Amino acid sequence: MSKVMVIACYRPKQDKDDELLAQVKTHLPILRAEGLVDDSPSLCGRAKDGTIVEVFCWKSESAVASAHENPAVEKMWQAFGEVCEYTSIGKVDGAHDLFTPLEPIDLDV
């Protein structure tokens, strides 16, 4: 079983920046409690357009798959859906720059 590093991008819905940040701060603790991610910290930053970019590691491909059947994770994803739209890194402002500038976010997790 090898880890799977992912880049998750969350674009806040209008006037939902603070709510999104609060939700992102719960993300890894919930995934850890469910045994789906490792103990390494995530890297997190905010792009010029407000999108939050988070890089983290799932424990394995099977952990990724099992997340889609996990009630706690589904509930968390529904809460994310209320405050953001998921997007790909290629659609984040600055993603096509040689070095994509992000404002660091300390998640304290």
pLDDT digits (tens, 9 = 90+) for 7-43: 999 999 999 999 999 999 999 999 999 999 999 889 9
pLDDT digits (tens, 9 = 90+) for 51-105: 999 999 999 999 999 999 999 999 999 999 999 999 999 999 998 999 999 999 9
Q: What range does the domain containing 61 cover? A: 4-104
Q: Given pLDDT bands bounded at 50, 70 and 90, which one contains residue 108? A: confident
Instruction: State the burial class of residue 20 (Cβ atoms within 10 Å of its Cβ: 0-12, 13-18, 19+).
Output: buried
**Does residue 109 lie in a domain region?**
no
Indicate the number of domains in the chain: 1
Q: Given pLDDT bands bounded at 50, 70 and 90, which one contains residue 1? A: low
Model confidence, pTM: 0.92
Distance of CA 72 to the CA centre of its chain: 16
CATH number, domain with residue 65: 3.30.70.100
